[in-house]
Amino acid sequence: MSVEKRGDVAIVTVFCKLCDATITVEVPLNLVENASHFPVEYAAIHGAPAHGLTLYFDRQFNLRGTEIIRNIQVAESDATTKLVPKKIASIPPMAVSLGMISKKEFKLLQQCDGKRSVLEISKKVGMPPAEVEEACRQLQSRKILKLDEK
Ligand SMILES: [Zn+2]
């Protein structure tokens, strides 16, 4: 566990038991500056299936404890239900072994038929909608797919 202040955020490195891995969370410094009670909590929602790791900070921004939230529901944003990605480049499976595209991106691309929304695709591939959206935006900037609004 470590807390490193950088600009107006604290970079917190913390072990998540559920992921069985160390995760990095950016916490705004004004979380502590503006807090009216301590410890002040900050929930990092991450992973697939999505879960939360609540971090508790004291006045000095020391990490005093963590707590896992297993069962959460994240409200779907409009974007994930309206955005429809469509594959515009043909990517052979070989592109994965050549390292041109990750396995995850390739799996995602199979679903981008221009009919399914980001939300529907996220359920199909078992990734959080925000992660699918982010991956689609990256693929769009590489001209592999196109994002349309329904
Ligand atoms: Zn986790």
In whole angstroms, give the CA distance from residue 31 to residue 36: 10
- Residue 72 Cα to ligand 1 middle (Å): 12
Distance CA 79, CA 29 (A): 29
Rounded distance from Cα 32 to ligand 1 centre (Å): 23
CA angle 89, 125, 86 (to 5 degrees): 25
Number of domains in the chain: 2
* Shared-domain flag, residues 65 and 109: no
User: The CATH number of the domain where 137 resides is what?
Assistant: 1.10.10.10
Ligand 1 centroid–CA 51 distance in Å is 6
* Residue 83 bridge partners (DSSP): 149
15 CA distance to ligand 1 middle (Å):
8
Q: 40, 33, 14, 17: which is closest to 25 by C-alpha?
A: 14
| 3-state SS, residue 103 | helix
Question: 138 with 88, same domain?
Answer: yes
φ, ψ of residue 69 to 5 degrees: the values are -115, 115
Same domain for 83 and 64: no
Q: How far, in Å, from the CA of 71 to the mean position of ligand 1?
A: 12
Q: Are residues 37 and 83 in the same domain?
A: no
- Give the pLDDT of the chain (150 residues) as one tens digit per residue: 789 999 999 999 999 999 999 999 999 999 999 999 999 999 999 987 889 999 999 999 999 999 999 998 877 777 778 899 999 999 999 999 999 999 999 999 999 999 999 999 999 998 888 889 999 999 999 999 999 988
Domain that holds residue 110: 78-149
Ligand 1 center–CA 128 separation, angstroms = 13
**Tokens 């299936």 map to which residue?**
49
The pTM (predicted TM-score) of the whole model is 0.56
Taking the CA atoms of the chain, what radius of gyration do you get in angstroms?
A: 19
Same domain (yes/no): 94, 33: no
Residues 64 and 94 in one domain: no
β-sheet bridge partners, residue 2: 13
Phi, psi (degrees; rounded to nearest 5) at 61: 65, 30
Are 24 and 43 members of one domain?
yes
Both 100 and 124 in a single domain? yes
* Distance (Å) from CA 54 to ligand 1 centroid: 10
Distance 16 CA to ligand 1 centre (A): 5
Are 93 and 125 within one domain? yes
